[in-house]
Amino acid sequence: MTKRLRWLLAILLVAIAGGLAWRALAPHEPVYRGKSLSAWLESYPVFNVPVEGQEQRANEAVRHMGTNALPALLAMAQTRDSHFKNNLTQLLSKQSLIDFDPTPAFAQRRRAVYGFDALGATAEPAIPKLTELLNNPALAYEAADALAKISPKAIPPLIDALTNQNFKIRVLAARALGVGLATDLSADVATIPRLGSNPHLAILALISAAQDTNKSVRLIALFSLGRIAQEPEVVIPALLALLSAGDADSRSGAAQALAQFGENARPAIPTLIKLLGNRTTVDNAAMALARIGWEGVSPLTEALANPDGRVRVRAALALGKYIKPNPGEEPVKPRTPQEIDAAARIAIPALLNRLQDPDPMVRSWSAWSLGCYARDPELVVPALSQLLANREIRPRSFAIIALQQFGTNAQSAVPILLNLLQDSSFNVRESTTNALKAIDPSAAAKAGVQ
């Protein structure tokens, strides 16, 4: 046996001895169907790719263990990697004789969070200890996440943490309140948030945190107010005050939060209109106006004439998002046909005018938004067809994507699209292929489009 191998074996023996000692001192783990709690927790997607049904089975196991799982979960929640373990891992990673792959402490803490999430209110006895861990910067991230997944009894310690001297803990507490009190507006069946349906005290605390001396705390507090999106009579005036007097970041954060309130944020429209002309706030202001309702469409069309190209781009994009929002950005209430008709009458002429904008990005997003409306083909399809001759790739691609949304109503564009099958740009050729199959499947097949 070589000296190097003896040295590695000695280190491994020390590591094994340390591991055995830790297991001897660790809390006894409950067992369900022949597997220990730790084994079930390995089913959660910390490192591994989720397997269908695996997480649900782990949740069932943890719930069956109930409060018996709490001592072990709390032990995992405060696991930290020692200097010895870190050094040993680093040393053994440089050789191939011994297979050594310890689970890092952060992974054990994340698995504990999954366990607390599965238990929900059953984990209430762990709140005092998790509150203690929340005040430890090294363990606060997972402690805050765990508290957010238990019950309304976790709200007071999270509110208290909003005034912690360590700004990182304040950030984590603000984030946890948003996670635990968020309402899933996209769900088919309304569900009560894990921290309950009475967020009043948390909202007041987050409004105060939105004026914190630390920028990160302010922004996360505003983000959480938007996620909770309740008590507009309390929150909207506070957000309006920040829109008018806050710093640039707070104004953007307040606009983003307002967007989550939908039509309840209508009193903010005049202030949001002012923010449209500011490069630092136009992104969130434009999206907020699009989500508030059709009353936000008119100021967006006016912003299309702004001398700043960035403002015109964001206004054009927001007009399309009014009709086709991203997943998770849907309006609080679905658009009525009357609202869509009113928006289309204002937006389509304004977007058609911007197809000749000197800025190619404005032309591109104007074309894309016209495709979102997919109306008035007798006016829009010829205008989009002219854009297909644009020398910039992006406007051509976006015009093709827009034409595809018109389906068979865009047949007049087919001859030009057939020519674009030979375009020098792969993106243009690919978009053209998809558009032809949607607009004229017969012509696409004759051209050899697969």
- Parallel, antiparallel, or unpaired for β 35-36 and 31-32? antiparallel
Residue 337 lies in a domain: no
Residue 72 lies in a domain: yes
Residue 433 lies in a domain: yes
Q: What number of other Cβ atoms are within 10 A of residue 298's Cβ?
A: 17
CA-to-CA separations, 403 to 326, 414, 433, 447, in angstroms, rounded: 20, 10, 12, 18
Q: Which residue has the tokens 């680093």?
A: 90
For residue 31, list its beta bridge partners: 36
Instruction: For residues 368 and 338, give the distance between their C-alpha atoms in angstroms, rounded to a whole number.
Output: 22
CATH number at residue 418: 1.25.10.10
The amino acid that residue 27 corresponds to is P
Convert the pLDDT of each residue in 165-186 to its tens digit.
Answer: 999 999 999 999 999 999 765 4
Instruction: For residues 318 and 333, give the distance between their C-alpha atoms in angstroms, rounded to a whole number.
Output: 17
Pick from 194, 271, 257: nearest CA to 223: 257
Residue 288 lies in a domain: no
Pick from 69, 151, 148, 153: nearest CA to 115: 69
Task: Indicate the number of domains in the chain.
Answer: 2
Measured at the CA of 127, the angle between CA 122 and CA 132, to 5 degrees, comes to 155
| pLDDT for position 90 | 56
Structure tokens given for 252: 């953007």
How does DSSP assign 109-172, residue by residue?
A: HHHHHHHHHHHGGGGGGGHHHHHHHHTSTTTHHHHHHHHTTT-GGGHHHHHHHTT-SSHHHHHH
Residues of the chain scoring pLDDT < 50: 15, 20-22, 24-25, 88, 91-92, 95, 97-101, 186-189
| pLDDT for position 49 | 67
Residue 396 lies in a domain: yes
DSSP H or E stretch at residue 31: strand 31-32
| pLDDT for position 183 | 72
Residue 286 lies in a domain: no
| pLDDT for position 218 | 96
Nearby residues of 328 by Cβ (< 8 Å), 6 or more positions away = 186
DSSP symbol at 1: -
Instruction: For residues 356 and 360, give the distance between their C-alpha atoms in angstroms, rounded to a whole number.
Output: 9
DSSP symbol at 102: P
Nearby residues of 177 by Cβ (< 8 Å), 6 or more positions away = 148, 155, 158, 159, 195, 199, 202, 205, 206, 224, 228
Nearby residues of 149 by Cβ (< 8 Å), 6 or more positions away = 113, 116, 117, 120, 179, 180, 194
DSSP H or E stretch at residue 209: helix 200-209
Residue 58 lies in a domain: yes
| pLDDT for position 21 | 47
> 64 burial class (0-12, 13-18, 19+ CB within 10 angstroms)?
middle
Instruction: For residues 217 and 161, give the distance between their C-alpha atoms in angstroms, rounded to a whole number.
Output: 12
- 257 and 225 in contact (C-beta within 8 Å)? yes
Residue 443 is part of which domain span? 379-450
DSSP H or E stretch at residue 345: helix 337-353
Residue 414 lies in a domain: yes
